[in-house]
Amino acid sequence: MTGFTIRPARTTDVIEIERLIQPLVDRRILLGKDRVVFYEAVQEFRVAVDADGRLVGCGALHVIWEDLGEVRTLAVAEDQLGRGIGSALVERLEVDAVALGLRRLFCLTFETAFFGRHGFAPMGEDPLEPHVYHEIVRSSDEGVAEFLDLARVKPNTLGNTRMLKWLDGRDR
């Protein structure tokens, strides 16, 4: 990990996070969000900053349930791809997930090879026990709807793959 550091995001990073993800939003790889959503979730984000202080990557960990979290809004500046920034962000989010007591991480992605290298695998149809499903289906969070594969998010996520990783190394 040379030439950049990973740190918790600050409110002063929000505009740069938006700038960083905008090309991915424009290409429909990431969903756009209102600025207020980034401020509300700033504590979930980790950012990669280069030696000059430029924000060159970001990613967020969102808790969905007692043992389940989502890796969200993972992005690396196009001129910085291939330097290990995305991998470092995923690894940091996994450390954060374990510290919170999570055992599983979810992501919704077009980058299946990248996440596959990090131990994520395509999800099956029934990732939750029925009683947990009935609790979290009430959430208004779009990431939860994506995890549950609810019909209301289909137009936004067409073509993405739902992937899951067990942090204790098991498959299911």
**Using only C-alpha atoms, what is the Rg of the chain?**
15
Q: In the predicted model, what is the mean pLDDT of the chain?
A: 85
Q: pLDDT tier at 147 (50, 70, 90 boundaries)? A: low
Q: What is the DSSP letter of 169?
A: S
Q: What is the DSSP letter of 43?
A: G
Average pLDDT on 85-92 reads: 98
Judged against a pLDDT cut of 90, whether residue 1 lies above it is answered with no
Q: Which domains does the chain have, with CATH numbers?
A: 4-166 (3.40.630.30)
Higher per-residue pLDDT: 132 or 119: 119
Dump pLDDT digits (tens) for 34-81.
999 999 999 999 999 999 999 999 999 999 888 989 999 999 999 999
Dump pLDDT digits (tens) for 2-46.
699 999 999 999 999 999 999 999 998 888 889 999 999 999 999
Q: What is the DSSP letter of 11?
A: G
Q: CB neighbours (10 Å) of residue 156?
A: 14
Considering only CA atoms, which of 2, 90, 101, 96 is closest in space to residue 43?
Answer: 96
Higher per-residue pLDDT: 48 or 104: 48
What is the side-by-side strand order in the sheet with 4-8? 4-8, 45-50, 55-65, 68-76, 104-109, 161-166, 121-122
The token duo for 149 is 């594969």
- On whether the CB atoms of residues 58 and 45 are closer than 8 A, the answer is yes
pLDDT number for residue 156:
46
pLDDT number for residue 119:
95
pLDDT number for residue 126:
58
- On whether the CB atoms of residues 72 and 61 are closer than 8 A, the answer is yes
